[in-house]
Homo-oligomer: A and B are copies of this chain.
Amino acid sequence: MKETNAAYIQAGDLVLLSGKDRREFMIKMIPGLQFQTHHGVLEHDDLIGQRWGATIKTHLGYTYLLLPPSLEQLVRGIRRTTQIVYPKEIGYLLMKMNIGPGTRVVEAGTGSGGLTLALARMVGPEGRVYSYEMREDIQALARKNLTRVGLANTVTFTLRDIHEGFDERDVDALFLDVREPWYYLAQAHTALKGGGFFGAVLPTTNQVSALLRGLETAPFGFVEVEELLLRAYKPTPARLRPQDRMIAHTGYLIFARALLRE
């Protein structure tokens, strides 16, 4: 993803089109292309050069607002066939696992690529994401999702059963989003540098217990289990109150540090 500091939309930028009907579309600006909505057609060339935040009309007169997408919107907007890691968990694991510009991070499985996308955005051109997946069709989807937002170059995609191990050594961080992560702790440890950051997300308490048992017998320390709850409010100043419903569970986060073998 090209980072634009400028106030104007440029070729290659991702643009979030926001309509009055509250439907949103994410498109990448490519000169010469057209974007078709059921409200009419937009020419990319007409969007390029517009100020961010401007409105534009389709040939049928329907108005769209042109917004830069947030990373949260990019993650939510990917095409998916698998459960994704949610933005609130991603933001928190970035902080806990020290993932930022320059970080080398391993991830498995790739899945639809939601977390991959966020990691790639955050490690930047100086960092690297190594993403492992067993199923070819899923990997293809993730690659498409990353390519669409211009971040595929930051990622090394590998098709493999991680039981065979990871190719990298001394990586800063490694995250497992697989059903039975306790089977791959030796492999994870081999890939991580000393003191490196291990993370995982799991939906059930039984899986958390199984992973904790695994971490106890492997050279890991500083184990933590946490969960995050997000509550949205109705943004009405005179009637401020939480929304009626919320997502109650998106998974338990488990963090640990790789210790050196004695």
Contacts and interface: CB of A to CB of B under 8 A. Distances in A.
A252 interface: yes
**Could you say which interface size class chain A belongs to?**
35 or more
A104 interface: yes
A245 B232 CA distance: 13
Interface in A223-261: 223-249, 252, 254, 257-260
Contacts of A104: 5
Contact of A225 (B224, B227, B233): B233
A7 B193 contact: yes
A204 B121 CA distance: 33
B103 A3 contact: yes
Contacts of A122: 94, 100-101, 122
B68 A96 contact: no
A72 B185 CA distance: 24
A87 to B, nearest CB: 5
B53 A194 contact: yes
B247 A245 contact: yes
Report whether over half of chain A's contact residues are helix, strand or loop; otherwise say mixed: mixed
Contact of A88 (B97, B209, B228, B245): B228
Interface in A149-208: 169-170, 172, 193-197, 203-206, 208
Contact of A193 (B53, B65, B102, B254): B53
A54 interface: yes
B100 A124 contact: yes
A95 B87 contact: yes
A12 interface: no
A212 interface: yes
A49 interface: no
B87 A5 contact: no
Contacts of A21: none
Nearest to A209: B237
B68 A95 contact: no
A36 interface: no
Nearest to A262: B55
A234 B208 CA distance: 11
A47 interface: no
A166 to B, nearest CB: 15
B223 A53 contact: no
A71 B51 contact: no
Contacts of A69: 98
A222 B19 CA distance: 12
